[in-house]
Every structure is written in C-alpha cells, then in structure tokens.
Amino acid sequence: MEEDIANRLKRCPTAVVHDVMRARGLRDFTLPHELRPIMPDESLAGPAFTVEGSPAPGTDADTTLLAWTWLLSQSKPAHVWVLQPHDRTVAHMGELSAQTLKSKGVLGCVLDGGARDVAALRAMRFPTWCRYFTPRDIVAYWMPKAIEQDIRIGDVIINPGDYILGDCDGLVRVPSGLAKEIVVAAEQTMTSENRVRSAILNGMDPQEAYRTFGKF
C-alpha cells in the first residue's frame, strides 16, 4: 500500500499537491524553499524515516563514526531519509553514506543541512534535497540523537511515516492518514488542469476557462 501511494504521489507535481492540501484547510506543510534538489530533474516521494541530531564538538572521531554507521544501519527501505541536524556547518550526507542507503533501498534524502560528494551523489542518481554544499564532514563534530520521532523543519512537523514529496519546485509533507485521499484529489486536479490547458491552447479566454472548469 505504501509503495502504491508513493508511486502515485511521485507522478503528482508538488504545486498540485500543495493546492489540494491548501483547499482542504491544511497549513504548515511546505518545507523551506532553501532546501533545493541536487538533481532538479528528479522527483522523490515516500514515507519519512526521521532522524535528528546536533553538533557535539570534541567528540572523538571513532565515537562519531560508530554512531553514524549505526544510524545508517537503522534506515528503512522504500523510505525517504529526513534529517534535522540542527547544524549549518558540516555535510550530513556524502558518497559512502548515500551508497549505503541506496543499497538498503532508501529512496533519497532530505537534509535541513549540507551535503558533500555532490558529483558522486548525482552520478549514482540518489535524490537529495539540502541547504548547502561543503567538503567538511561530521567527524569529531556531530552526533545523531534520535530516529523515528517527530522532527521540525521550518514550520513543518514531520511524523515518521508521513509522506514527503519533492520536485524542482520544492518539498511538501503529506500526512500519512490523508495520503490516499490527497493522491486521489491531486490526480483529479491534474485531469482538470489538462482540460483547462487544452482549452487555452485552443484559444479559450482564460476567464472563460476558469468559469467553465473552475480551475486555473
């Protein structure tokens, strides 16, 4: 069921899903626009595996790497790795980590932080949204502290299992309990928009198109 919803959601633009959720009175579901994809032509959709951590300067290198590799080992296949690092200094994803996650079936990652080895991530086609790039890693600086708990990115609270949808426009969070309903509505909206598009291309006035289809 999760994979079916994720596959259908992935075919829906974030703008359409945003409008559907806005029309239902939902709020605070659009992630910060500073989170940008390293591959704008790739989209991403799936349930969230949530991670939270924070800087821990002075922690020895071995401790940070053991904690990091433990974190990677806990990741779930067919999920999106979503991290709140509470940090704007180091990279929180790199080549070996991304390769590990991809080999475990993780769909991609969303980082409220940084990435490195970006050329390698692009080469392996690992969808990644982040704030910045830097060569600096987490060693002796950053530690994870929780997985599969609610996290906050910007104004958005993300619960484990909520759906994350990302494309070149940005990212939205779809509540897990409403995901199927929202996917169905988004698919219907896309059909309506196709009718409007065809009418406009055939010369219909935009106001007439809006009045006729109730959509623009």
Angle at Cα 184 formed by Cα 179 and Cα 188, nearest 5°? 145
For the cut 90, the answer to whether the pLDDT of residue 185 exceeds it is yes
Q: Is 45 helix (H, G, I), strand (E, B) or coil?
A: strand
For the cut 80, the answer to whether the pLDDT of residue 214 exceeds it is no
For the cut 80, the answer to whether the pLDDT of residue 194 exceeds it is no
Q: How far is residue 43's CA from residue 129's CA, in Å, rounded to a whole number?
A: 10
Q: How far is residue 166's CA from residue 159's CA, in Å, rounded to a whole number?
A: 17
pLDDT band at 203 (very low <50, low <70, confident <90, very high): confident
With contact defined as beta carbons under 8 Å apart, do 44 and 164 qualify? yes
Count H helices, E strands: the chain?
7, 12
3-state helix, strand, coil in the chain (%, to 5): 40, 25, 35
Contacts of 131 (CB under 8 A, 6+ apart): 34, 35, 36, 88, 111, 112, 113, 114
Whole-number percent of the chain with pLDDT over 90: 86
- The β-bridge relationship of strands 156-158 and 142-147 is unpaired
Question: Helix 14-23 crosses helix 179-201 at what angle (to 10 degrees)?
Answer: 110
pLDDT one-digit tens code per residue, 79-138? 999 999 999 999 999 999 999 999 999 999 999 999 999 999 999 999 999 999 999 999
Of 3, 48, 41, whose CA–CA distance to 174 is shortest?
48
